[in-house]
Chain A
């Protein structure tokens, strides 16, 4: 890669940032890696890698259990991580932060535990047409179990929610609304504040799937007033296998535990178990300790750069890539919402996304191809799949130019 330009407007030191991510200097198929699959998972800065390394070299012990020094040290470390996440989301209490294995696990927890207590026959659950399968299936399973109904907010051709239709769907039967903050396929940023307000006006709780949002934007759960907010660590430059469920204290106290076992209890007899207080009630078994610790380090890293700077920089990348793609004959961008994160899905006339992805891979360019775990959304647009380029703050204008050259080459080869 030649000299990396700094986007002046966004004012972030891209050269320095790139050196923090060791993987960015590797080659793929003999070419410098251009990593545009950040929507699937983000790369990790050295600081996060060091935290995981250091955990095993110097800190490994089980948490919340031992009287010995190592156990106490790592318990403090893990609970500090929880506080870091609490502050990052501006949650009221640190016990409102539940460690899970990821977004999928968090949604399954909410659907299962909330569903057990609050969903019965004839009730309705609202999701949207742009949900990831992970925010469809848990609700679908719950509906089948309880005889409840899944209602879907439709979208327009730009990939924006039809808010009037949403208003019509909200009824006395609605028991929960589960919506993505940012679409993984389209990049659409949904008006979640308004969505939450409209639901709350009818006393309906709202769960927000923030998997794609947390790497790009700051989230204030109290300002949003959302009831549940879920995300994964690995898309936020943290380790894989760790995720977060934020829940309002009130709800977390009301809903039953999801998985039970070690750590979730106060007392156990064969007749009756008294469960532990929050957050341990929802954290059965030995958790992904280094994952939680690493995630807090990732959050500190992101905050040091500043999420508003990151958002501004990524917006520049998005605009540049969108302009360049629109100039290529036969390219159609899927998802043209006014309010978009740095995710671009597109199709090329007469060509299969898989073929384009394969050629780009030969050029060292990593994009995602396929249905992106949003098959109902693909059906809505009448397509089998797309090619998706999703950017992080360590990507550059030069990489976008490489990608455009590669795409033109792929089109030429395949046509």
Chain B
């Protein structure tokens, strides 16, 4: 599935929610079900510092594609991280670098991406793209 197709799938899922409660409950569930990052990657090197919540991100490249794992100390941030990973993980560096990620706006969660939010998510997306650029440069 392409990045755009996954984004579209997420938008459709969110369309079924009637109110903000359902939406956040879903994100909280996603946060709880995010596969754990390997303990050895939960270090200062992998920490993306946000003012409010912290995110740990690890990436690796297999057969030309980049795979991400991550964790956060806040569950809503973790749910948002899970969405980002679902969209971006398993794609080529070029696809990741060019992803617009406008699904966030369409599912009504743009406030999590505003620069004032400082929840580490904006920095995480930036880091995911930086990792992709780094892998591309290595080739």
Q: Do A and B come from one complex?
A: yes
Binding site for B on A (CB under 8 A): 29, 351-355, 357-359, 362, 369-370, 384-385, 413-414
Which A residues are in CB contact (< 8 Å) with B10? Answer: none
| B132 on interface, CB distance cutoff 8 Å | no
Bound together, the chains give a CA A341 to CA B74 distance in angstroms of 29
Smallest Cβ-Cβ distance to B53: which chain A residue? A354
Bound together, the chains give a CA A316 to CA B51 distance in angstroms of 32
A352 touches B53 (CB 8 A): yes
Residue in contact with A354 in the complex, picked from B24, B25, B77, CB distance below 8 Å: B77
Instruction: Tell me whether A413 and B51 are in contact in the complex, defined as CB-CB below 8 angstroms, given that A352-B74, A355-B74 are known contacts.
Output: no
Bound together, the chains give a CA A369 to CA B73 distance in angstroms of 14
B52 touches A414 (CB 8 A): no
Shortest CB distance B89–A (Å): 24
| B28 on interface, CB distance cutoff 8 Å | yes
B25 touches A370 (CB 8 A): no
- What is the interface residue range for chain B against chain A? 10 to 19
Which B residues are in CB contact (< 8 Å) with A414? Answer: 28, 75
Residue in contact with A352 in the complex, picked from B21, B24, B51, B73, CB distance below 8 Å: B73
- Contact mask B21-42 → A, CB, 8 Å, 1/0? 1001100100000000000000
Bound together, the chains give a CA A352 to CA B52 distance in angstroms of 9
| B76 on interface, CB distance cutoff 8 Å | yes
Which A residues are in CB contact (< 8 Å) with B24? Answer: 358-359, 362, 413
Instruction: Tell me whether A370 and B75 are in contact in the complex, defined as CB-CB below 8 angstroms, given that A354-B119, A413-B21, A413-B24 are known contacts.
Output: no
Contacting A at CB under 8 A, from B112-126, are: 119
Smallest Cβ-Cβ distance to B31: which chain A residue? A355
Which B residues are in CB contact (< 8 Å) with A362? Answer: 20-21, 24
Bound together, the chains give a CA A413 to CA B29 distance in angstroms of 10
Instruction: Tell me whether A413 and B74 are in contact in the complex, defined as CB-CB below 8 angstroms, given that A353-B52, A369-B52 are known contacts.
Output: no
Bound together, the chains give a CA A354 to CA B77 distance in angstroms of 9
- For A29, A352, A355, A385, the residue with the greatest tally of chain B CB atoms inside 10 Å of its CB is A355
A355 touches B75 (CB 8 A): yes
Shortest CB distance A100–B (Å): 25
Smallest Cβ-Cβ distance to B50: which chain A residue? A354
Shortest CB distance A348–B (Å): 12
Instruction: Tell me whether A29 and B25 are in contact in the complex, defined as CB-CB below 8 angstroms, given that A353-B52, A370-B51 are known contacts.
Output: no
Smallest Cβ-Cβ distance to A351: which chain B residue? B75
B73 touches A413 (CB 8 A): no
Shortest CB distance A115–B (Å): 29
Residue in contact with B20 in the complex, picked from A29, A357, A384, CB distance below 8 Å: A29
28 sample A-B contacts, Cβ–Cβ < 8 Å, listed by A number: A351-B75, A352-B53, A352-B73, A352-B74, A352-B77, A354-B52, A354-B53, A354-B74, A354-B76, A354-B77, A354-B119, A355-B28, A355-B74, A355-B75, A355-B77, A358-B24, A358-B76, A359-B24, A359-B76, A362-B21, A362-B24, A369-B52, A370-B52, A384-B73, A413-B21, A413-B24, A414-B28, A414-B75
Which B residues are in CB contact (< 8 Å) with A384? Answer: 73
Shortest CB distance B55–A (Å): 11
Bound together, the chains give a CA A355 to CA B73 distance in angstroms of 10
